[in-house]
A and B are shown apart, each in its own frame.
Chain A
Amino acid sequence: MTSMRSIAWVIAAALLAPAGVHAQDKDARDLSGMWIVQDPGSGSWSEWFDNVPKPQVLPEIAADNERIAASERAGNVVNRMPRTAACPVGNLPMMMASSPPLNIVSSRDEVLIGAESNRGRFIYTDGRPHPDVKDPSYVPSGFGHSIGRWEGDTLVVDTIGFAPRVCDSRRPVMLVPGGGRAKDTTHLVERYRLVNADELSVTFTWDDPTVFLAPHTYAYTYKRLAEGIPIENNEELPTGPQPKYITDQVEK
């Protein structure tokens, strides 16, 4: 009799256990929601953006950082670069650090990370490889090309294919927090993990032999906005002449 009872429980456990495990995995792997990055109180965008461990960069990058800082100290703080078809879309490091919340939708084959007023990033989790980002048909962007895979409860995202430069006369390069760069030779690995239902941890590791002397790693914590409402920064453009700062050619 005891053995009959044991068999019954073993069968029951075998049948029910996968449902429980499946549900747990599913919850841990569902990053969906609106998330806001936690600023530890830096007080300003620049301070916040650089409030990470300092990367070890090549001397020419350090010199370029100094040049940009000096230019900004001299008052060059307005972007006068016209936006053309050649201008890449997006800026991943800035988007992931910005205060407007990220809106994540985790589906089986793709994770969307939307930013305010735009479409944001696409992370393919269907097992596809990166395209040949050196092929002329590849269109580089400030978001690069991202693929992800799950390692237990962590989504590991691999990104390459960034644009070599951005259209910005003030900072014509895509800055990485702390003073690095993201460009066509850059490789980023991100690790997304739900610490709990309301806290998302993302660790960023940047690598690029033309920028960093060693991989540059830092982490952000994002808090869930449970009932957040998506908003749009969607001002209409004037129908008359464009403002001068938009139409001016970049100063040589």
Chain B
Amino acid sequence: MSRKVLAAVVLLLGCAPAAWAQGGAAAARPDLSGYWELRFDSFNVPAAALTTQAQAAVEARRKKDLDAIRGCVNVGVPALMNDHATLDIRQSGSVIGMVAKAPSSTRYVYIDGRKHPDAEELEGTTNGHSIGRWDGETLLVDTVGFNERGITAIPGGGFRGARSHLSERYQLSADGQHLVVTFTWTDPGVFRRAHSYSFRYYKVGSISEPRIVNCIAGDADRARFLTDAPAPAR
């Protein structure tokens, strides 16, 4: 009898850590929360293989993107992810928020098991609709539902639009100081094959104020800087 009791204790001892882990299921996953910045050695960006149709549209898209910058339109994904200022990522058990300093909506990645809305319910946005799931310690994110507003240029070439599909893989280093994100875009109208590139973010302890950049669409000097061809330096 006493052996049975002891066996029960041993069993409970064995189960307890699992119960703790279950109680903090989200906490057991890597926590991507923090301030992240890109540095000079953060980019592994090969050239994209563009369709003929996309190549023909590059200049028009460049001008459209420039208009969006001039007009302080929300930049959206992917520009939000390669912002020159620090990126703030916040993770809860059900959703991850990503905030850039550039004019943009907060990007939300739902990790609560939901699916994308039906296409007819999904109004395109600059960030698209993102859902994520954990594969071990790697966060896999799937995004659809983009529009053609904001900065549409994709690192390496090409641009996003309503038919674009983005897959991302987020991997936190063992020491928690680096975050490698691999982006893979597909869009039959833009890419001849899937286009992948990676960023390696560095964790930093703080973020500078102000957190929200005051973008002034009516700033004539700024508009001229953005749109006039630079005069050659002498």
Binding site for B on A (CB under 8 A): 1, 4-5, 7-8, 11-12, 15-16, 18-20, 22-23, 26, 30, 32-33, 82-85, 87-90, 103, 105-112, 114, 116-120, 122, 131, 138-139, 141, 143, 227, 229-232, 234, 236-237, 239, 242, 246-247
The answer to whether B150 touches A32, judged by C-beta atoms less than 8 angstroms apart, is: no
Smallest CB–CB gap between B95 and chain A, Å?
5
Interchain residue pairs A-B with the least CB separation, the first 7? A237-B71, A105-B97, A19-B23, A15-B16, A107-B90, A114-B106, A32-B92
CA distance A22 to B96 in the complex (A): 21
Does the CB pair A246–B210 fall under 8 Å?
A: no
**Quick one: given A30-B93, A85-B216, A229-B121, are A139 and B19 in contact (CB under 8 Å)?**
no
B150 x A105 contact (CB < 8 A): no
- Residues of A with C-beta under 8 A to B19: 15-16, 19
Question: How many B residues are at the interface, by size bracket?
Answer: 35 or more
**Shortest beta-carbon distance from B77 to chain A in Å:** 12
A-B contact number at CB 8 A: 175
**Complex CA–CA separation, A116 to B105 (angstroms):** 7
Q: A103 near B106 (CB under 8 angstroms)?
A: yes
Across the interface, B12 reaches (CB within 8 A) one of A15, A141, A247, namely A15
Q: Which residues of A contact B20 (CB under 8 A)?
A: 18-19, 22
Q: Which of B81-126 touch A at CB < 8 Å?
A: 88, 90-97, 99-100, 104-106, 108, 114, 117, 121-123, 125-126
Interface residues of B (CB under 8 A from A): 1-2, 5-6, 8-9, 12-13, 16, 19-20, 22-24, 26-27, 31, 33, 67-68, 71-74, 88, 90-97, 99-100, 104-106, 108, 114, 117, 121-123, 125-127, 129, 149-150, 209-212, 214, 216-219
CA gap between A136 and B126 in the complex, in Å: 35
Judging by beta carbons under 8 Å apart, are A107 and B33 in contact?
Answer: yes
Q: Which of A20, A30, A107, A230 contacts B108 (CB 8 A)?
A: A230
State A82–B219 Cα separation when bound (angstroms).
Answer: 10
Using known A-B contacts A18-B20, A231-B125, determine if residue A236 contacts B67 with beta carbons closer than 8 Å: yes
Choose from B2, B23, B106, B209 the contact partner of A20 (Cβ within 8 Å): B23
